[in-house]
Structure 1
Amino acid sequence: MKTRLSLLAAGLLLATGAQASVPGDKLAKGLDAGSYGSFVKTLSSDEFQGRLPATIGETKTLAFLQAQFMRLGLKPGFGDSYLQPVPLVAITSHPGQLTLGNLKLDYLKDMVINSPKAVAETTVKDADLVFVGYGIHAPELGWDDYQGLDVKGKVVVMLVNDPGYATGDKRFDGRAMTYYGRWDYKFDEAARQGAAGALIIHQTEPASYPWSVVENSWGGTRYDLADDNGPKSAFSGWITEDAAKRLFAQAGLDFAATTKAAGKAPMAKPLNAKASVDIKSDFKTTESHNVMGVLPGQTEETVVITAHWDHLGTDPSHKDDPVYNGAMDNATGTAGLISLAQSFEDLYKGAEKPRRSIAFLAVTAEEQGLLGSKYYVSNPSIPLGRTVADINMDSLNVYGPTKDMVVVGKGKTSLEKELSEALRKQGRTLVPNDRPEAGGYYRSDHFNFAKAGIPALFAGGGSQPWDADVAKYREMMKARLKGCYHNACDEYQADWDLRGALSDLQAFHDMIQMLITSRDWPSWQSGAEFSRPAATE
């Protein structure tokens, strides 16, 4: 920038709703700090009660999103409706003590467990405990922690992440987490193997988040798709590292040495103890909704833009601040969805339609395991064969403009070509995320599109502040928001410098414009674990 905005000036700029500048380029009409900030503020207000699916918070969120899509003249995405019903089952588990041998583990303090089944009572008594390393069955990589092991009716204990994190094993993409490192894969695989229970050992660094995130994300009500008939263990959950160390010591095993060895070769070791627990559960079948508006093009070929609208709801036990507002996660992304729709509605108002359509899809229950996007991909209103790409927005940049933009899972798709070109106009560059071990590519809604073969991009934010003033602001704001992920302090901040989010939205805008006016189909890069369905070649 030719002149630097002081933090005070930036705050005044945002407060007055004036259009903020972005690195190297003007913002498209419809992308402005005033409207974008108001969308974030509204969605993350206490009135929306943390946007938990199937609550009054959802009702208010749906009404707001539909009103915005109608205002912009978007076509309903599901026949004559903007809403796609997503059948869910809500399960609230009330576990008693979890007993592992002589250890009695307390809920939230030492462990968090749930029943994934809609049953009133789950009882596991005197089940053998087995440590299964990283809990991975990947014969195509020459790795199988379950090889020659019968865990039917047993309780398996495993490490978070994958062997690449511990050893740099190239089969697992080195330090970058693969899908085999994700908790949902591990629980699903344990169930496929017939385990009665599955426990992941929480460790902050390989998990990429502290124990408080496990407490807040896994305590209370959990959701699943009501029509998911896949295998499920009787219970699944997490134990603290301290509890795991005590468990290993009880079995006569050195925790550090055993877990280190588990990163070098597949492992299965009996823990010479029995597991017992009784879980009482309340459950009900309920319904949530995905929301989609479409800007029609000349063809049915469609670029899908996604953001999850849901968050964690409320916790009445937190008397001072019971609402998990989810401002950054993900009111920022949902607001970005509306702002992009606003900008394209303006761009094509009274003009010839673009060659391709754009679908703006706000999905539910991301925080429960990407359920809304999973349901949509299994029940798409736009055939997957006509879906050009997915661009996903989750937790946009509130730390000020940057010289770079991070793409999570860099090198997976050709979509990076269009994004790099859009960034070049801003004087910015595209860079990989600096913490690939966190497994970000497998943690948001684009992943369900990727599993179906649709090239999917997840990008946003950056690590290089645009100037010295931004660097100071960034340091201050990061300190203020430290520990707010999945906590009640993830609230809208009146002094947020939204120019970072807006510059990213401008880059997405330019990228989408390239895609909807092109005849080319994005593709997966060589080495990516996904491939586009043959019907769209």
Structure 2
Amino acid sequence: MKRGRGDGWGDGQDDDAESSETWERWRGRAGSSDGPDGFRRGGTGAASARLAVEPVGRSTGRTGPAWLGYLPLALLVTAGIAIGGITLLRILGGIGRERARDLALPTQPSEAPIEALGAIDETTLQAWIERLADPSLGGRDTPSAGLDRAQAWVAEEFRAIGLAPWTTHDSAHDSAHDLPHGGPLARPLGDETLRPYFHPFRASAAFFGRVPYEAPLFSGPGRGDAVCELILARSDARFTAGTDFVPIARSSAEDPIFRGEAEADLVFAGYAIDSRPNEYDDFADVDVSGKIALVLDGEPEGGAFEGRFQDDEVTAEACLWNKLDALAREGAAGALVVDLFTEDAPLEYRWTRAYWNPPTMDQVRGGLPTLRISVAAATTLLGTSPLALAEAIRGAGAPVAAPVPAGTKVRMRAATIREDVELRNVVGQIASEPGRGYLVVGAHLDHIGVGPRGRIGSGADDNASGVAAMLAVARALMSEDGRQRLAGTGVLFCAFTGEEDGRVGSEALVARLRSRPVAPGSRGRCLGMINLDMIGRGPATSAVVLGLTECPEMRAPFERALSSGLHGFDRVQEVTSPEFFQRSDHYAFYEAGIPALFLFEDWPHLPGIYHTWLDTPEKLSVPKVASMARLAALVAFELAR
């Protein structure tokens, strides 16, 4: 789910104090009267200044009744009461706008079992959730190679279920465009037969909600010579960009292009950590001044480090930016950071680092030239495996020396540039018959990536749960019974990208719907949209729906679906919250005049794992996800009627 400004869903999982810089970013521009919940505050600033009152009967020397002396105080008290009353009314008004009530449910099913719902099974849902939340997908950031793989997997599932690609009759627009930076989206799909399920669109670099997109400057047309490189000077051997090394995004608002380069002797500097509380110092016996330091990602853990550093949590010592700060203080000329997870997985460029909830002080800073390198590249440079070095440190409980081959000099350049990026949604369809309308069932596929301490946001609840439920709904509606109940009504199934960056994908899809037919020879009316986002936590037999107040035409179909009793819930809350209603992909459809419902897990929202690395599959109730899928399918059948 898209983060709200000053989100109050934190659980204090991170002990770092929130920096003033971070707070200003979340609450809006400095000096704004916007509060952390996004609502305007009253009774501050200019309004307070206008309360100044000139003393009465003093500056003129005239005297008057004694009570006149108390008039300024009386005016101030009256004004204060008035402002307080206005503020109270505003608060009460906000409370009035955010409410929840239970909807009526039957005590037993009022309809015979629907055969199509039998296609929704918990074993398959569990497998789908685990697949999408697998750490190998790197948190499914937009854009990233991990998200590319997740999208290809969803397209494969669409095809296996029997969904057809969505035809928009615009092959020039819908074909994938290779971008000049040679980044993750320019790589082949692997299975080109999946391409019709992808609907690409371009987003400007500045369009993203968190930070502008920043591409690695790899060699390519129009790039010149100032591109990323890593060369072992003694043999002039060149490592391969995108395979052996990638840059770290470091551009600034003042300079949209970042280039940092160095040529120096290589030295191994462990984890680049100097921590007195943990009795560990990688710099005690290593001089990195004027050298390029090869360092390990993360921090020591386990073995002889029991009771130090990480017990159940990763400490701030593992933060990439803290490592680079330490190296800069020690006078290093550059840094090569070994990604220890690349032994069995490809090295992947990350244009951003996850911001956890609540925000921490793990913010981008410093300008030391830096490349992330693979285990294989580090082994070539050091003459020994960095994994073996990490294990030696773990066993010794202290830094270990790694003699670098004599004369090992390295030439490196890190380069990134802000530029537009191509993104894509994944869309499959049950085509509508001529003259019939269509529905949209959607869920966002993206999450927030990997944090600067190496912690992966798996996004099991947010939103592998919703995507898995969407696939289950597709299976139910594609069954023979499901097709009969749809009676020619079409359905688009959409795995959106960029929801975490401000509903980028759903906005693009809505623009496409406005301008292109959904099925050959038909421009059917969109009957409604059902959005599944964060549906796996909380009591297994309760659910939340938003949108019935905003879209009254959805109330009757939804209540008919509830009355069937075939979903598995014994409590469904209708929540009205104008601010919360804007927080996911359905809102793009609502703004376009398309009725939309938002199915959600619980209210008030459960604290603890939202936008943290703790959002993992074992925290979810798969029976609840199955019930959500059944409810969505029932609503779809009612809308088709």
**TM-score normalised per structure 2:** 0.43
Distance 2:572 2:475 in 1: 25
Distance 1:375 1:217 in 2: 33
Q: What is aligned with 1:57? A: 146
Distance 2:478 2:614 in 1: 34
Which of 470, 478, 489 lines up with 1:356 in the alignment?
489
Distance 1:393 1:217 in 2: 32
Q: After superposition, give the CA deviation of every residue in 1:90-143 in whole Å (9 maximum; x if it has no partner).
A: 56579xxxxxxxxxxxxxxxxxxx97899449xxxxxxxxxxxxxxxxxxxxxx
Q: What is aligned with 2:203? A: 88
Which of 563, 587, 590 lines up with 1:424 in the alignment?
563
Q: What is aligned with 1:441? A: 581
**Aligned positions of 1:452-471 closer than 5 A:** 452-462=592-602
Distance 1:456 1:346 in 2: 24
Residue 298 of structure 1: SS of its match in structure 2?
coil
1:509 aligns with 2:629: no
Cα distance change, pair 218–507 in 1 and its aligned pair in 2 (3 A): farther
Higher strand residue share: 1
**Aligned positions of 1:343-382 closer than 5 A:** 343-348=476-481, 354-380=487-513, 381-382=516-517
Residue 292 of structure 1: SS of its match in structure 2?
strand
Distance 1:335 1:217 in 2: 34
Alpha-carbon deviation of 1:23?
Answer: 9.0
Contiguous gaps of at least 5 residues in structure 2:
1-105, 169-194, 214-250, 259-354, 366-414
Distance 2:438 2:202 in 1: 25
Contiguous gaps of at least 5 residues in structure 1:
1-21, 95-113, 122-210, 222-279, 465-473, 519-537
1:491 aligns with 2:616: yes
**Aligned positions of 1:112-123 closer than 5 A:** 119-120=256-257
Distance 2:201 2:360 in 1: 23
Q: After superposition, give the CA deviation of every residue in 1:159-210 in whole Å (9 maximum; x if it has no partner).
A: xxxxxxxxxxxxxxxxxxxxxxxxxxxxxxxxxxxxxxxxxxxxxxxxxxxx
1:326 aligns with 2:470: no
Cα distance change, pair 492–450 in 1 and its aligned pair in 2 (3 A): same
Cα distance change, pair 87–425 in 1 and its aligned pair in 2 (3 A): same
Residue 324 of structure 1: SS of its match in structure 2?
coil
1:213 aligns with 2:357: yes
Q: What is aligned with 1:312? A: 448
Alpha-carbon deviation of 1:318?
Answer: 1.4
Residue 290 of structure 1: SS of its match in structure 2?
strand
Alpha-carbon deviation of 1:44?
Answer: 0.6
Q: Which amino acid aligns with 1:378?
A: A
Q: Which amino acid aligns with 2:450?
A: T
Distance 2:255 2:128 in 1: 36
Cα distance change, pair 44–492 in 1 and its aligned pair in 2 (3 A): same
Q: What is aligned with 2:221? A: none
Cα distance change, pair 444–496 in 1 and its aligned pair in 2 (3 A): closer
Cα distance change, pair 23–307 in 1 and its aligned pair in 2 (3 A): farther
Residue 637 of structure 2: SS of its match in structure 1?
helix
Q: Which amino acid aligns with 1:213?
A: N
Q: Which amino acid aligns with 1:452?
A: A
Distance 1:433 1:290 in 2: 29
Aligned residues: 309
Residue 51 of structure 1: SS of its match in structure 2?
coil
**Aligned positions of 1:279-290 closer than 5 A:** 282-290=417-425
Cα distance change, pair 326–116 in 1 and its aligned pair in 2 (3 A): farther
Maintained 8 Å contact 2:469/2:628:
no
Q: Which amino acid aligns with 1:377?
A: V
Q: What is aligned with 1:398? A: 537
Which of 437, 448, 451 lines up with 1:301 in the alignment?
437
Cα distance change, pair 58–23 in 1 and its aligned pair in 2 (3 A): farther
Cα distance change, pair 290–24 in 1 and its aligned pair in 2 (3 A): farther
Residue 196 of structure 2: SS of its match in structure 1?
coil
Q: Identity over aligned residues, as a percent?
A: 23
Maintained 8 Å contact 2:537/2:602:
no
Which protein shows a greater Rg? 2
Which of 134, 159, 166 lines up with 1:70 in the alignment?
159
Distance 1:504 1:352 in 2: 19
